[in-house]
Amino acid sequence: MLDQIRIDELRNAPVSPFQHIIDGEKRDSSDGDVLNVISPLNGEVLTTMARGTVEDANAGIAAARRAFDDGRWSDLAPSARKKILMKWAALIEEQALEIAVLGVRNNGTEINMAIKAEPMSAANTIRYYAEAIDKIYGEVASTDPSVLALVHREPVGVVGAIVPWNFPLMIGSWKFAPALAAGNTVVLKPAETASLTLVRLAELALEAGMPPGVFNVVTGKGSVVGEAIGLSMDVDVMVFTGSGFIGRKLLEYSARSNLKRCYLELGGKSPNIVFADVPDLDEAVKVSANGIFRNSGQVCIAGSRLLVERCIHDEFVEKLAAFVETLNPGDPLNIKSTAGAVNSMSQLQQNLGFVEEARDLGRGIRTGGTRILEETGGYFMAPTVITGVHPRDRLATDEVFGPVLAVIPFDTEEEAVEIANGTDFGLSSAVWTSNLSRAHRMIRAIQAGVVHVNTYGGADTTVPLGGVKQSGNGHDKSLHALDKYLELKTAWIKL
């Protein structure tokens, strides 16, 4: 149970300037420059952080390269790495509330979600891969008995990770936890608007006994630090969650440098499909609303397109609007708030621009569509439901990344599939039906990395998350994530 009194104490705590963590040390930027950290709760400066230069990025990469090449981490027995990672997870859990509140002040996620989805999720992910890594074995191939053929699994080397602002710890840990567990070293670039908690985690890693240089965090602009990591000849694997625009740049950087492998999660425009035989209409309404409006819609897998069979469309929309109007977006450090702030003013303006475009096209703004709580100085937006959306509207094809739901009616299963697959994305989806045969048909037909049936957004670390089409490649979560960070080496031994 969250303690509102303790949260209120932490919300007013002063926040010291943040520095890079490079080679086990806190460092200012090479030119001494800083970035102001603006809190989305009130639009005011929360603190400053180091504004990384190319030199800083290269220092972080060099530290990671040295730490890998000298074996201080990769040559440790898996059980030894496991011990340090488990201690790290325990330290994160011990300080979970302090970390969560810091994160909320930095990126605006509501505290009820933040505590579970950020520090607790990161701790659990670190623990998951720590527990797994000493259970991953090589192989003995079945071949000519005069030959011993072995397949070794080795760490790849230096991993460059660029993570987004919506869930920096959760998504960050999906990348650095398996990378580190497998014996790689990491240089991580957080988003400019959500860096603080990742720096804090790097400090705790050192406290847990992680050797210097194994986990480095360089803050700053993506156009500087991110580009330097992408172009480096000493980074072996690049992992990224963010926009398709930046994903394409990283592929270019790979081609221009050492052909480093790039694994990209590039967002989605996920369809949430409700058939007339939905098992529980009220439950579908509630879960569908939470599937788009939690964290103010700033969720990669958000069910931002609601496809409803026409014969129940009006009833479903009425119930949905009524439920949405009971939601309580507001101060994300108030435990009664159901959604927090939009991450930045630019993101808020983008969200509102989509609403205005839909209004100009004559679409129905069923509820929401406005900035709220403007008097706080923060970046808050009412949960928004837009009806009568055409499948080719930009609202139905482009990722908004805000609390904006596009509602589209359909008449047949075939039409639902056509609409669902009618975007460049393919990350997540859902189907609500009582017909088991239809559920299996839809799972096969929908072009997405995840298909939920009669639920939305509940998949945990045990299963992979990855997209198809322009939602990216590779997988986070599950044991399959380790494939990105382990190299296969064949040993062919003549007996």
Q: Tell me the C-alpha distance between 286 and 28, whole Å.
A: 47
52 contacts 221 by C-beta, under 8 angstroms? yes
123 contacts 190 by C-beta, under 8 angstroms? no
Amino acid at position 242, single letter: G
Q: Tell me the C-alpha distance between 188 and 439, whole Å.
A: 40
Q: Are strands 271-274 and 430-432 parallel, antiparallel or unpaired?
A: parallel
Query: Quick one: tokens of 482?
Result: 């380790």
Q: Tell me the C-alpha distance between 116 and 425, whole Å.
A: 27
Query: Quick one: tokens of 96?
Result: 């979970």
Q: Tell me the C-alpha distance between 309 and 113, whole Å.
A: 31
User: Looking at 285-359, which runs of residues are DSSP E strands?
Assistant: 305-309
Q: What is the largest CA-CA distance in the chain?
A: 79
Of 250, 192, 262, 226, which Cα lies nearest the Cα of 60? 226
19 contacts 190 by C-beta, under 8 angstroms? no
CA 175 to chain CA centroid, nearest Å: 10
Q: Are strands 45-50 and 237-241 parallel, antiparallel or unpaired?
A: unpaired
Q: Are strands 404-410 and 430-432 parallel, antiparallel or unpaired?
A: unpaired
Rounded to 5 degrees, what are φ and ψ at 109? -65, 140
Torsion on CA atoms 280, 285, 287, 292, rounded to nearest 10: 160
String of DSSP letters for 124-162: HHHHHHHHHHTT---EE----TTEEEEEEEEE-SEEEEE
Q: Tell me the C-alpha distance between 134 and 479, whole Å.
A: 12
Report the run of H or E that residue 176 belongs to, with start and end: helix 168-181
Q: Are strands 364-367 and 185-189 parallel, antiparallel or unpaired?
A: unpaired
Given the residues 265, 309, 399, 413, select the one marked as catalytic: 265
Q: Tell me the C-alpha distance between 380 and 175, whole Å.
A: 30
Q: How many C-beta atoms surround the C-beta of residue 342 within 10 A?
A: 29
Burial of 224 by CB count in 10 Å (0-12 exposed, 13-18 middle, 19+ buried)?
Answer: middle
Active site residue 374: no
Interior/surface letters 288-297, b for 16+ CB within 10 angstroms, e for the rest:
bbbbbbbbbb
Q: Tell me the C-alpha distance between 17 and 8, whole Å.
A: 21
For the annotated catalytic residues, the residue numbers are 265
